[in-house]
Amino acid sequence: MRRSGRRIPGRIWPVETDWISVRRDRTTYPPGVLRLVTIPISHYCEKARWALERAGLPYREERHVQGIHRIASRRAGGGGTVPVLVTPDGVLAESEEILLWVDQQTPPERRLFPTEPPKRAEVERLCRRFDRGLGPTGRRLMYVHMLAQPKLMLRFNNRGVPAWEDRALRLGWPLAVRWVRRELAIRPGIEAEDESLVWRELDFVAELLADRKHLCGERFGAADLTFAALSASVVVPPVYGVPLPQPGVLPAPTAALVRRAREHPAGRYALALFADRRREEIV
């Protein structure tokens, strides 16, 4: 899908949008629009949303709750995980693939990946490091905290999903908790290990930023977007693709974790990127 001379605005909705009504209004999307299958709160899905919206590519987001997302992913042509992006060029079933594809639809001067092989290799190395480390550990750490708060979690988790999925998750919450614990390998004490790993990644990012503006130099790129998106599980940015529970409504231990992450130099960097870049769109 190449950009034409006539620019179609991307889907940029305010944080407080009624997502269910948006999803039902199919007429707001032009024919042949991209389809993005997600779990609404997923930081990997936020990574894909951010890239699409930055590039000004219109898309229709199809939101699902955990568990049911696997069926939706496979029906869309994915492998059971999300995000899945359905494009005229085929189905993209990994967030990294989505970023790479979106980059090809972006003007060269605004692309997230450099063209020079050594620089590109460094960007890709950092993206994969965050995808394999910060992303899974941060996600599991926050799930450990939030699974003990079902009302609060469901209030934010189910934004924009089909009504029957919302009801099914609420009614089957005990089963869902067991499923999530098994899928994420949650066991007693894992949160301490994950918190240590998350802080190691934050320290790593802070060291990189000690002598440069962005992670790979002076230009915002894929590594910065990936880091910011995947750090969202612990910094819970106010600017995000869906509303996230802020420290004022979180239980004290969880709020303390979030505030500590936000105070870290790398956490401050992530929040600044969300504030300054999340609604940025190529014109």
What domain range is 262 assigned to?
117-277
The answer to the question of residue 5 being in a domain is: no
DSSP code for 29: S
Do both 135 and 271 map to the same domain? yes
Residue 13 predicted with pLDDT over 80: no
- For 50-71, write each residue's pLDDT tens digit: 999 999 999 999 999 999 999 9
Closest by CA to 233, choosing from 250, 214, 216, is 250
Do both 131 and 98 map to the same domain? no
CA 110 – CA 218 distance, rounded (Å): 13
CATH number for the domain spanning 66: value is: 3.40.30.10
Residue 105 predicted with pLDDT over 50: yes
Residue 4 predicted with pLDDT over 80: no
Do both 166 and 182 map to the same domain? yes
190-216 mean pLDDT:
98
Do both 72 and 147 map to the same domain? no
Check: CB of residue 43 under 8 Å from CB of residue 232.
yes
CATH number for the domain spanning 203: value is: 1.20.1050.10
- For 238-266, write each residue's pLDDT tens digit: 999 999 999 999 999 999 999 999 999 99
What's the total number of domains in the chain? 2
Do both 127 and 242 map to the same domain? yes
Among 110, 141, 164, the domain-final residue is: 110
The values of phi and psi at residue 201, to 5°, are: -70, -40
Do both 102 and 123 map to the same domain? no
Check: CB of residue 258 under 8 Å from CB of residue 247.
yes
The answer to the question of residue 216 being in a domain is: yes
The answer to the question of residue 30 being in a domain is: yes
Structure tokens at 20: 């269910």
Please give the mean pLDDT across all residues of the chain: 90
Do both 273 and 211 map to the same domain? yes
Among 47, 79, 110, the domain-final residue is: 110
Among 57, 83, 110, the domain-final residue is: 110
- For 33-45, write each residue's pLDDT tens digit: 899 999 999 999 9
The answer to the question of residue 14 being in a domain is: no
